[in-house]
Amino acid sequence: MQDSAGIGMAASVGPCAGIPADRMDFIRQVLDRVGDKWSMLIIAVLEGGPMRYTDLQRQIPGISQRMLTHTLRQLTQDGLITRTAYAEVPPRVEYALAPLGGGLNEIVKQLIGWAADHHDDIRANRSRAGTTAEPSSSRS
């Protein structure tokens, strides 16, 4: 499908309508990043203001050092958070929400709240369906 300018469109109806097909791959990449469980938790935790690495790790149970480092790097590259290194002894580094990440914060908090509110229902449904295993337990 093409619009009047001759640009291929991803879909004719729904949330993807109006998005040029040549942008959909990048949009999927952005959704993968901001929809990642660790990214969402980091964005939510940073709502309270700048935090150091160890404070982030304490506030996000279950995240490994490797995954925290990797996710912080990705969120910084995308401009969702900022990393500020202070020339002190010992060195101090703080992470904070960038304006772009701040705009995402309310959405992330709503998703986390929804998951918390419906935890028992989803667990019961998985149990009835015989799928009690966590779907992403093999990923860090």
CATH of the domain at 112: 1.10.10.10
Number of structural domains (the chain) is: 1
Structural domain includes residue 138: no
Q: What is the pLDDT of residue 19?
A: 82
> Other CB atoms closer than 10 Å to residue 80's CB: what's the count?
24
Q: pTM to 2 decimals?
A: 0.77
Q: What is the mean pLDDT of residues 88-100?
A: 94
Alpha carbons 96 and 55: distance in angstroms, whole number: 12
CA distances from 107 to 5, 34, 47, 101 (A): 33, 10, 12, 10
CA angle 8, 13, 17 (to 5 degrees): 45
Whether 69 has a pLDDT exceeding 80, the answer reads: yes
Alpha carbons 111 and 120: distance in angstroms, whole number: 15
Structural domain includes residue 18: no
Non-local CB neighbours of 71 within 8 Å, separated by 6+ positions: 36, 38, 39, 42, 63
